[in-house]
Chain A
């Protein structure tokens, strides 16, 4: 390895280390691939309820369908990430119906989509056994 190759590699090393550290100290997910490594970094109070959120659809035959990744190609975490925008504009749920229908040709038409949160009540870090189901957003064709 010549001096140029070595110098270039040292520069790359410095850049990668600085960007990675800066991303974690100051950055956000938007700074991918140098965003903060924030997996499971949110603290949850032991008495705070656990929210388990899923989108559900009802087709024209009245069947309920869980809109998971296999059903429509969109991950649950993505629905949760965009939840505020669905709450503000429930008509956006139509996009989920479109995604489902595009992946399931010939399946009965989707009549309505709603995002439901199972709110699992906790006490000192333990589930109490009580669960509230809350509809966060709803769209009907």
Chain B
């Protein structure tokens, strides 16, 4: 008797089908490029703070729990900082173009995690990169992936689902944290006025004279954060619009408070059909060259 019990799709729950909903490998290739090039940009241009740590006397250093518990992450001496810095600048571009994606991917994740521990062990922890760290941690679980490859993969689908979950958790758990730390008073408090007074811009400072408007924004913000999981139940068309709306929200936040949440924005692209972005092919077709010859991976049966 031939059995179909081994066929996984037969016995799966709908939750599993959702967690492992396959996506094209081309999306993995494009997402890798985005994520790992952001690592280069982040380390090279946004981490002056972490680099400065090499000069700071150990007196300001308070290691985070994970560094205290897991001794493989060394304390930031000048040499640890510069080794981590240069290793990331060399390895992240390699991973960006899917060369040895598993080994190099794991190395980049560990190095970037150490870089985060350096950046966040001096009195301030950032809350803008849960999704980004999940992407770095899990991308190595997918093997080789070529740009434009339309072969779908469940293991790739799982990585994207996990990043999406982390991105949405960032909103919904932020709403929870506001209730936990601020309480209901948060809604009619003056947190936004406080934020604008401290780091407002020409774009936002006028709002200080209209506190009622700021309080309305606070209510709207917590409502959209709390309702953000709905993004998983709407249609694909609506989902894209919501993602566009979220990017818009972050553009406004950046203009108003000069806070960009940049790693979170990179992770949020996990909701988009990135495999359709093929700049090399566009450039070739613009130049009038044969577009079918290059950029498309050769697959059996073609």
Contacts and interface: CB of A to CB of B under 8 A. Distances in A.
Candidate in B48, B52, B173, B178 with the most chain A CB atoms within 10 angstroms: B52
Contacts of B8: 1, 3, 6
B276 interface: no
Interface string A21-65: 100110001111101111111111110101010000000000000
Contacts of B215: 125
Contacts, number: 192
Contacts of B214: 125
A106 interface: no
Nearest to A24: B173
Contact of B191 (A37, A44, A78): A44
B41 interface: no
B237 interface: no
Interface string B113-124: 100110010111
A41 B174 contact: yes
Interface stretch (B23-31, B84-92, B181-189, B280-288): B181-189
Given A24-B180, A44-B193, A77-B124, A50 B198 contact: yes
A38 B155 contact: no
A72 B52 contact: yes
B254 interface: no
Given A46-B211, A48-B190, A120-B197, A24 B177 contact: yes
Interface in A59-94: 69-70, 72-75, 77-82, 92
A69 B124 CA distance: 13
Contacts of A39: 127-128, 174, 177
A78 B123 CA distance: 4
A43 B124 contact: no
B82 interface: no
A41 B20 contact: no
B77 interface: no
Given A50-B197, A77-B123, A99-B56, A43 B211 contact: no
A70 B48 contact: yes
B133 A98 contact: no
A95 B127 contact: no
B124 A81 contact: yes
A92 B116 CA distance: 24
Nearest to B52: A73
B66 interface: yes
A135 interface: no
A13 B162 contact: yes
A126 B193 contact: yes
A98 to B, nearest CB: 6
Contacts of A81: 122-124
Contacts of A35: 125, 127
A108 interface: no
A23 B51 CA distance: 28
A17 interface: yes
A125 B185 CA distance: 13
18 contacts: A5-B155, A6-B16, A9-B158, A30-B125, A35-B125, A38-B181, A40-B178, A40-B195, A50-B197, A72-B52, A74-B52, A74-B122, A78-B124, A82-B123, A95-B60, A98-B56, A99-B55, A102-B56
Interface of B: 8, 16, 19-20, 48-49, 51-53, 55-57, 59-60, 64-66, 113, 116-117, 120, 122-125, 127-130, 133-134, 138, 141, 154-155, 158, 162, 165-166, 169-170, 173-174, 176-178, 180-183, 185-186, 188-195, 197-198, 208-209, 211, 214-215
In the A-B complex, the 5 residue pairs with the smallest Cβ-Cβ separation, listed nearest first, are: A73-B52, A125-B211, A81-B123, A43-B182, A102-B55
Interface of A: 1, 3, 5-6, 9-10, 12-13, 16-17, 20-21, 24-25, 29-33, 35-46, 48, 50, 52, 69-70, 72-75, 77-82, 92, 95, 98-99, 102-103, 120, 122, 124-127
